[in-house]
Amino acid sequence: MANLHQFDVVVVGAGGAGLMAGLYASRTARTAVISKLYPTRSHTGAAQGGISAALGNLEEDRVEWHTYDSVKGSDYLGDQDAIEFMCQEAPQAILELEHMGLPFDRTPEGRISQRPFGGHTNNVTGKPVRRACHAADRTGHMILQTLYQQCLKNNVTFFDEFQVLDLLINDGKAVGVVAVSLADGELHTFHAKSIVFATGGHGRVWEITSNAYAYSGDGAAIVFRRGIPLEDMEFFQFHPTGIYKLGILITEGVRGEGGVLINGKGERFMERYAPRVKDLASRDVISRAIYLEIREGRGINGSNYVYLDVRPEVVNKYAALDGRTNPDGSPYQVTAEQLLKKLPDIIDFNRVYLGIDPMTQPMPIQPTAHYTMGGIPTNQYGEVVIDDKKTVFPGLYAAGEVACVSVHGANRLGTNSLLDLVVFGKYAGLRAAEYARGVDFTPLPSDPEGFARRQFEALRNGSGKENLTDISNRMKRVMFEDVGVFRTEEGMKRALAEVRTLKERYRQVRVSDTGKIFNTELLNAWELGNLLDVAEVITISALNRTESRGGHAREDYPNRDDANWLKHTLVWQRDGRFEIGYKPVVITRYTPKERTY
Amino acid sequence: MEVTLKIFRFNPEVDKRWHYETYRVNAEPTDRVLDLLEYVKGYIDGTLSFRRSCAHGVCGSDAVRINGMNRLACKTLVRDLGDKITVEPIMGLKVIKDLIVDMEPFFENYKKVLPWFINNSPLPADGKERLQSPEARERFDDTTKCILCACCTTSCPSFWGSDDYLGPAALVAAHRFIFDDRDEAAAERLQIISETSGLARCHTAFNCTMACPREIQITKAIGELKLATITGRLD
């Protein structure tokens, strides 16, 4: 082991959660942040619309309302103690970001500006509330930049372009990770007391996706191979408004500013599905509505997309019909100039990729794979919990999209992802450092790099009969068709068989690049292995849950079934076999009831 | 349509020197150049190496030279280029392999301008946000868009011809903080960028502004910094 490093805390991933964890852990512990990308390339930077907190800067708002909206948004699968904690922490988290210099947009009084977002309501009137703090339509970019800058200011140690390949366990504790340096292909072993996984989601499992190439489920797949369970993997969010065919995200902020969804008959169809909040219903509700419109032949020209219309005259027409007002009570009206200021990137995406101007033309959109609600089970301190008895795995932490606290349950509310990573990234970092202070290093297992080396050798020495891209494309297609917005037993069984066939075919690939320097082909091949493993767990979990809840919509079981399914799924891999278990949902104040918008 | 794709190739473990390879690929006019690179890597030559992540112009990974102009491969469509497309690494940073260059000097320059918020005054007594007017926020809005892709810096003739020029991206970062009225280190940053490795090396070629995929008015921002160093004023 030529390349051995020792740190108190190792953070894997440098998006919002990883940087928060790194920033906080490094205050009291020797900390390294390892990232396969330069930190500013992380997918947090693609988040657009906002980050919610009941600051009440523009109208009355309350932490309890944010909490209830999130519980309801989760279709009652979120753990209410964790949601309460997150929403309680939210105002302070936002203010802390501002104190770090984050350039939020401002109200005329100079306070942080807020906009409406899907599912966020005034609990008394039921109307949308301005809760999403924003910085144009690049809020995630601003968070990522600000946190990276603060890490530089505080001399956090980074290992950029290091891909973590394995979690090391000894004596029942997490003791390190193995990574490959992309620049020279050398393996490195990081010996640590605490390890925080903040590696993001796995939206690249699906064909139409808003997610970065990097979102290949690395963290989930790595810990799963080491016997850690994954929670609620059947729950994945399809965002209703991706750019047609490309899947590039069009923020819900567009609808927050007054944009409406229009079908092929020119109808604002969300009136029928969510009479009160219409286009600002939860994402799962709107994605299903779009599918149903398309299935009924009401897509644009009978095709498989609808329009998102934010032309000022259309916004103003529907705002008047809805009786929408400004904070001062005057009628809500927008101009193209104001929209350009608030949604510059959205307008740019449309111009570049579609050649259309959203100020004069509607945008063709379709649901796009977007967010991983499930993941590595944790408590609200980021500690990884490995069973239904709250047993913590010593030294192992997870935060951000890879983690399942669970604050998002069956469906995440827009803006709560950024809040999740700021709040739980911070607490995971603090707890990881605290734990490291109280323990000595546990020795590394023998031959720590063996497993990672064997994985690479297999990819270099396969028969070469199969092509990586073919396997990848097939997986994405099958998962999008059969484990997507709507699901059936028949379709999912087909998908599971296909994924298992693809896993067999994957053994026959051979990486043609035999070099060590930036062998991105080897890296891509390894990432595909993670996606296949994750796709299998998703499908097993989804087949097993015979109800519909949040993002998991089964046509053969169309109703929510609280009597049998108000519980979290856990899946383990033991001796090459899958085991399914459950743990109860934490209910504090909000009794499950029917969910309408 | 059929596209003739010419790509700069260099594998340090095999090649004595760089060369170009030409590939004929079928493309839709709406395909991104990144889609073509992915196709070549997936089906013709798996060793072709380049960086990419978000694939829609916000992460800054895939800055390359396309038909002589610095662009993001994921934000440049075939229909805007025609059927002959040449892809090369960005210039002025050492080529490591194919389209991958050594980004370390770029990030080192960025770090030199203290690209982080500095305000050592006490927080507002109520613990809430520091107030900032919408006009004051607007003052530095343009330069908050930077994604550190290096399109600007590696299109700059002064950067190519100098070993120590900070480059436009670092100056953009300086602008973002210098013109933020909540920040207290403007004088310190202005001092740093006034040294010979800084503003003096900008000769307003405008290449940076042309190259920026975020459409930041970089030359204008640098002009505002130059004015600030002369007048000592930030309005």
For residue range A478-503, what is the model confidence (pLDDT) as tens digits?
999 999 999 999 999 999 999 999 99
Burial classification of residue A446, based on how many CB atoms lie within 10 Å of its CB (0-12 exposed, 13-18 middle, 19 or more buried):
exposed
Q: Which residues of B touch A520 (CB under 8 A)?
A: 41, 49-51
Place of tokens 């992309």: A182
Could you give the CA distance from residue A553 to residue A559 in angstroms, rounded to a whole number? 9
Task: Note whether A106 contacts B11, CB cutoff 8 Å.
Answer: no
Upper half-sphere CA count for residue A238 (Cβ side, 13 Å) = 30
A503 close contact with B: CB closer than 8 A = no
Could you give the CA distance from residue A385 to residue A394 in angstroms, rounded to a whole number? 9
Could you give the CA distance from residue B36 to residue B42 in angstroms, rounded to a whole number? 10
Q: What is the average per-residue pLDDT within A306-335?
A: 95
The β-bridge relationship of strands A553-554 and A260-262 is unpaired
Domain range B104-231, CATH class? mainly alpha
> A106 CA to chain B: closest CA distance, Å?
5
Burial classification of residue B203, based on how many CB atoms lie within 10 Å of its CB (0-12 exposed, 13-18 middle, 19 or more buried):
exposed
Which chain B residue's Cα is nearest to A355?
Answer: B30
Could you give the CA distance from residue B161 to residue B134 in angstroms, rounded to a whole number? 40
Residues 6+ apart with CB under 8 A from B126: none
pLDDT of A309 over the 90 cut: yes
pLDDT of A327 over the 90 cut: no
> B27 CA to chain A: closest CA distance, Å?
15
Q: Which residues of A touch B61 (CB under 8 A)?
A: 37-38, 41
Angle at the Cα of B196 from the Cα atoms of B191 and B199, rounded to 5 degrees:
70
Task: Note whether A40 contacts B148, CB cutoff 8 Å.
Answer: yes
Q: Which residues of A touch B111 (CB under 8 A)?
A: 152
Q: Which residues of B touch A468 (CB under 8 A)?
A: 42, 46
* Number of DSSP helices (H) and strands (E) in chain A, helices first: 17, 22
Write the ipTM: 0.98
A47 close contact with B: CB closer than 8 A = no
In chain B, where the domains are located: 2-101, 104-231
> B35 CA to chain A: closest CA distance, Å?
11
pLDDT at A402: 98
Q: Which residues of A touch B116 (CB under 8 A)?
A: 101, 149-150, 152-153
> B172 CA to chain A: closest CA distance, Å?
13
pLDDT at A9: 98
Token digits of residue B226: 């130059």
First and final CA of chain A: distance in angstroms? Answer: 58
Encoded amino acid at A253, one letter: G
> B230 CA to chain A: closest CA distance, Å?
26
A 104-133 residues with CB < 8 A to B: 104-112
Query: Residue A384 phi/psi, 5° resolution?
Result: -75, 130
pLDDT at A504: 97
Comparing CB atoms, the residue among A99, A212, A468 nearest residue B55 is A212
> A42 CA to chain B: closest CA distance, Å?
7
pLDDT at A328: 87
Give the SS3 label for residue B132. coil
pLDDT of A410 over the 80 cut: yes
Which chain A residue's Cα is nearest to B15?
Answer: A515
Q: Which residues of A touch B53 (CB under 8 A)?
A: 37, 41, 43, 212-214
> B104 CA to chain A: closest CA distance, Å?
10
Q: How many residues does chain A have?
A: 597
Residue B161 CB: number of other CB atoms within 10 A? 10
The β-bridge relationship of strands A31-35 and A157-160 is parallel
Comparing CB atoms, the residue among B41, B49, B60 nearest residue A41 is B60
Q: Which residues of A touch B11 (CB under 8 A)?
A: 515, 517
Quick check: pTM over 0.90? yes
Q: Which of A204, A283, A487, A595 is catalytic?
A: A283
Token digits of residue A580: 């399914």
Could you give the CA distance from residue A231 to residue A211 in angstroms, rounded to a whole number? 21
Q: Which residues make beta-bridge pairs with B32?
A: B77
Could you give the CA distance from residue A583 to residue A565 in angstroms, rounded to a whole number? 10
Task: Note whether B58 contacts A153, CB cutoff 8 Å.
Answer: no
> A149 CA to chain B: closest CA distance, Å?
5
Token digits of residue A39: 């930190």
Q: Which residues of chain B have pLDDT under 50?
A: none
Task: Note whether B42 contacts A41, CB cutoff 8 Å.
Answer: no
Residue A177 DSSP class: E
Task: Note whether A212 contacts B54, CB cutoff 8 Å.
Answer: yes
Interhelix angle A63-73/A80-99, rounded to 10 degrees, is: 120
**Is the separation of the CB atoms in B146 and B172 below 8 Å?**
yes
Best to test chain B binding among A57, A243, A513 (most B CBs inside 10 Å): A513
**Is the separation of the CB atoms in A73 and A411 below 8 Å?**
yes
Task: Note whether B96 contacts A138, CB cutoff 8 Å.
Answer: no
CATH of domain B2-101: 3.10.20.30
Task: Note whether A101 contacts B183, CB cutoff 8 Å.
Answer: yes
Task: Note whether A213 contacts B115, CB cutoff 8 Å.
Answer: no
Per-residue pLDDT reduced to its tens digit, A143-197: 999 999 999 999 999 999 999 999 999 999 999 999 999 999 999 999 999 999 9
Q: What is the average per-residue pLDDT within A550-559?
A: 97
Per-residue pLDDT reduced to its tens digit, A423-467: 999 999 999 999 999 999 999 999 999 999 999 999 999 999 999
A42 close contact with B: CB closer than 8 A = yes
Give the H/E segment covering residue A90.
helix A80-99
Task: Note whether A512 contacts B134, CB cutoff 8 Å.
Answer: no
Best to test chain A binding among B31, B58, B80 (most A CBs inside 10 Å): B58
**Is the separation of the CB atoms in A398 and A376 below 8 Å?**
yes
Residues 6+ apart with CB under 8 A from A231: A374, A375, A376, A377, A404, A406, A568, A569, A570, A583
A 255-274 residues with CB < 8 A to B: none
Interhelix angle A489-506/A468-482, rounded to 10 degrees, is: 170
Query: Residue A483 phi/psi, 5° resolution?
Result: -130, 50
Task: Note whether B58 contacts A345, CB cutoff 8 Å.
Answer: yes
Give the SS3 label for residue A577. strand
Residues 6+ apart with CB under 8 A from B122: none
A512 close contact with B: CB closer than 8 A = yes
Q: How many residues does chain B have?
A: 235
Q: Which residues of B touch A213 (CB under 8 A)?
A: 52-55
pLDDT at A1: 65
Which chain B residue's Cα is nearest to A354?
Answer: B30
The β-bridge relationship of strands A128-133 and A114-121 is antiparallel
A214 close contact with B: CB closer than 8 A = yes
> B90 CA to chain A: closest CA distance, Å?
17
Question: Which letter, b or e, does each residue of A273-303 get, where b requires 16 or more Cβ atoms within 10 Å of its Cβ?
Answer: bbeebbbbbbbbbbbbbbbebbeeebbbeee
Give chain A's mean pLDDT. 97
Residues 6+ apart with CB under 8 A from A474: A498, A502
Task: Note whether B128 contacts A149, CB cutoff 8 Å.
Answer: no
pLDDT band at A101 (very low <50, low <70, confident <90, very high): very high
pLDDT at B234: 85
Cα-only R_g, chain B = 20
Task: Note whether A141 contacts B58, CB cutoff 8 Å.
Answer: yes
Is residue A115 annotated as a catalytic residue, yes or no?
Answer: no
Token digits of residue B54: 């978000």
pLDDT at A303: 94
Question: Which letter, b or e, does each residue of A357-373 get, where b requires 16 or more Cβ atoms within 10 Å of its Cβ?
Answer: ebbeebbbbbbbbbbbb
Cis omega before residue A406 (within 30°)?
Answer: yes
Task: Note whether B46 contacts A45, CB cutoff 8 Å.
Answer: no
Report the percentage of chain A scoring pLDDT > 90: 98
Rounded (10°) CA dihedral B178, B180, B185, B191: 10
pLDDT band at A2 (very low <50, low <70, confident <90, very high): confident
Q: Which residues of B touch A106 (CB under 8 A)?
A: 132-134, 137
A142 close contact with B: CB closer than 8 A = yes
Upper half-sphere CA count for residue A157 (Cβ side, 13 Å) = 14
Could you give the CA distance from residue A109 to residue B132 in angstroms, rounded to a whole number? 8
pLDDT of A264 over the 80 cut: yes
Residue A93 CB: number of other CB atoms within 10 A? 21
Secondary structure in 3-state letters for A515-565:
CCCCCHHHHHHHHHHHHHHHHHHHHHHHHHCCCCECCEEECCCCCCCHHHH
Give the SS3 label for residue B44. helix
